[in-house]
Amino acid sequence: MSEETEKNFVLEEDDLNITSTHHELNNNLAAAPAGDNDDITTKTQDNQWIDELRVALERGCDLGSIRNIGKSRPLPDDLRLHVWKICLDINEANDEYEYSDSNTCDSPQQNIIRDDVSRLLHSLEISEDLFTTKVNDIEAVITYYCKKYNETYEKGNGWIEIFKPLLTLQYKDRSELYALFASIRNRYIPRDCEADGVPYHLFRLLLLYHDPELCSFFDTRKITSDLYAHIWIRSLYAGSCSLNIILPLWDGYFQHADQFFAFFLALVLLMFAKEKLLEMADNSKREIIDFLSKAPTNLTIDDLDDFCSLAIHYASNTPQSFRKEFYSCLFNETDRTFSQKAYSIYQALCLPISVQELLQANQLGGTAGVRYFVVDCRPAEQYNSKHLCTAFHLDANLLLEDPKEFAGTVDALFATQQNAIDAGSAAGGEHLCFIGSGHNEEDKYVRMVVAYFLQRNTKYVGIASGGYKILVTAVEDPTMLTQAHQQTIRTSIHDSPTIGSTLKQNLADKIPAINTQTASLINMISNAVKSKSMEVKDKVKDYISHTSSPDSSNSQPRHVSKQDKIDRLYRQNQTSVFSLDGDDDDETISSQQRDSELVDIESWFLRSDLLYKYECEHYDENDKTHPSLLLASSTHLYILRKLPEHKTMANLVARRQLNTITKITSKKNVPEIITFRYAISEEQDDEQEKAIKFNTKNTKIKIPVDCDKVYLPDAGDATKNIKVLIMKALHMYENTNETVSN
């Protein structure tokens, strides 16, 4: 691995720092007054990365190195072509964009192509001596692309605008120009960018998720996004921005390497224009469309930093599973299930969320990028039978049977959500994820409930794909599912005395398990819904008592029971199990098969909980290596296996709790090969309770269950840092258990 790759493999939210730096430092040094020397020194330091990037390019580097050094900043003119080619995977080894110059321009649309090319070159004020050459180059490239991919050129399809920034590069021949154009087209321009096309329906779902009020504004006026965002998406904003904007924008875009990033940039443009749009409520549809179409033209160099940083924020605050769901539909020309996936986008009521992502957020708790408040809308008998332990029950049938009662339950839902967030509960999250049974006939009422929230402009509303039927098959930890202690009572408000006595008995039974903080939360919720039926209060109290954070600072000490386990591991007064040993043996250690999860690399880099990131090679069960990333947070170790065909995506092949690592070994002959071994505790429940009760030190039997083997070029630094994290994690668990036992 190159030296550049090992440096700070980190991309924070403010890394897309696009600013204008067009002045030559040498000229500034010669012309600046003596009093400006400090400013010039600062500028020199700020531009040291350019020299570092130049050296890296000379040595040969990859996208990861460029991203580490450049941090999506604007590039110098003399480096731009070289960097773009690396970011677009254009090299001699890649024959995907091989060009054959036949000098035959015989497309049925040839006259249209020639006219559009001439119009572009006149707008760029190309000199007379280069005019004919450039016309022939672009015309030949477009013609060859149409023939190779069986495309039909259409006026206004955005192709011509893509050449606007490309003509500023010193490309060596038509072959290189073709490779640049074809790579941008195939990599970053979604399929089916036609009127009412799939990309625009997906964009509407994203807008509905982040700003339902603005989405409703467009829907009521029948303004679809293809009417104003067509040229934005099809030209990657080159058709709407001047060259001094699009060049630094593309510098950051290609380094960022997120194929969905255009959608989030479009979201930011709408947010910028929202206030003016709402003022135009009485204007004609045509006036609103014209105003929106010109929105990117108002961008200035000073706006680019906020423009891109906000787009990154929206991207990181959006469920990531839609990328996996719709990637091949939008960017894979060979996908044969296009019509089926397109249909799912057209029919979607709101943004779908995979149950895998939902469970991951539930397991990670406060460390997750997107936190979900799960709303189980199945019938009461199904919910009582078994449900996700952090799910709030909102019976969808209640919407039709008793709208007033339903409204009261919704009030309780919002109050519970806010207080769960404030309490740091595992159930707390700003994003609402509704889940049904997974059966169409039953879930039609769930869709009515979702529509109820959307009509009230509730942000961050999603629905779990496949419902509970799929969720229950994806759950690995049985303790994540729980059974209700008592059937939900469906009684009218006239029976409140009976319900009140039942409530009193329920609370009496639950008092030992309710801590001080939970009690205060119950009081707050009760005040929020005091005008509603006692049934709603009972539901809220039952929910809070099972989802409040047990380790809150206000909690009262209590015994730990089996139901309290959130994960499979349970530690009680256990000594450190970490060791770093040599590993001479060549035995093949079998790993448990785990389902991988497709994730966006960039979004993971933006997570605030990640502390260390290392490039590595991960060994699979056949001892074959794969380029990967080893990531560490204060509680978990992750391995992301890169996808060679998708530079921005990776498979999450391992998610390990640090406190399950029993040994870290290395090969004596090859110390860079590191093996992480894991284990779980084996102990009977009665022995656990006895140890807790008598505060005895007990020794647990550790049984090896899994391992991960990686080749780490920076093995010394990595194992040292991970060891510190493991010790901290073990210390945290030991302190927690000592508090419980006392």
Residue 439 within a domain: yes
363 plus 328 within the same structural domain: no
Q: Cβ atoms within 10 A of the Cβ of 670, count?
A: 11
337 plus 449 within the same structural domain: no
323 plus 370 within the same structural domain: no
Residue 567 pLDDT: 38
Residue 1 within a domain: no
The domain that contains 710 carries what CATH number? Answer: 2.30.29.30
User: Considering all CA atoms of the chain, what is the largest pairwise distance in Å, rounded to the nearest integer?
Assistant: 94
Residue 593 within a domain: no
Rounded to an integer, what distance in angstroms lies between the CA atom of residue 296 and that of residue 240? Answer: 6
Which of 462, 495, 528 is the last residue in one of the domains?
A: 495
Number of domains in the chain: 3
Residue 55 within a domain: no
Decide: 633 and 656 in contact? Cβ < 8 Å.
no
The domain that contains 228 carries what CATH number? Answer: 1.10.472.80
Alpha-carbon radius of gyration of the chain: 29
Rounded to an integer, what distance in angstroms lies between the CA atom of residue 80 and that of residue 118? Answer: 25
pLDDT means per 10 residues in the chain (742 residues)?
A: 37 35 36 46 68 93 91 93 94 84 76 91 88 91 91 90 94 93 94 88 95 95 94 94 95 94 96 94 94 93 93 93 87 66 81 91 65 93 90 90 90 91 84 93 90 94 93 85 52 31 34 34 37 43 44 40 38 41 47 63 78 90 90 91 80 89 86 85 45 44 70 88 87 54 50
217 plus 300 within the same structural domain: yes
258 plus 361 within the same structural domain: no
Which of 295, 330, 348 is the last residue in one of the domains?
A: 348
Decide: 53 and 66 in contact? Cβ < 8 Å.
yes
Q: Structural domain of residue 432, as residue ranges?
A: 350-495
212 plus 267 within the same structural domain: yes
Residue 659 pLDDT: 87
341 plus 368 within the same structural domain: no
207 plus 343 within the same structural domain: yes
389 plus 447 within the same structural domain: yes
Q: What is the DSSP letter of 470?
A: H
Residue 210 pLDDT: 96
Rounded to an integer, what distance in angstroms lies between the CA atom of residue 607 and that of residue 364? Answer: 12
Q: Which residues pair with 682 in a beta bridge?
A: 701
pTM: 0.65
Residue 21 within a domain: no
Residue 559 within a domain: no
Rounded to an integer, what distance in angstroms lies between the CA atom of residue 649 and that of residue 644? Answer: 9
The domain that contains 396 carries what CATH number? Answer: 3.40.250.10
Residue 139 within a domain: no
Q: Which residues of 122-158 are buried (b: 16+ CB within 10 A; e: fewer)?
A: eeeebeeeeeeebbebbbbbbbbbbeeeeeebeeebb
What the block records as the tokens of 614 is: 């290392």
Tokens 């005091």 correspond to 530
Residue 551 within a domain: no
Q: For residue 125, give the 3-state DSSP assignment.
A: coil
334 plus 477 within the same structural domain: no
How are strands ordered across the β-sheet holding 701-711?
A: 580-582, 661-666, 673-682, 701-711, 610-619, 625-633, 636-643, 646-657, 597-600
363 plus 386 within the same structural domain: yes
344 plus 359 within the same structural domain: no
Which of 461, 495, 529 is the last residue in one of the domains?
A: 495
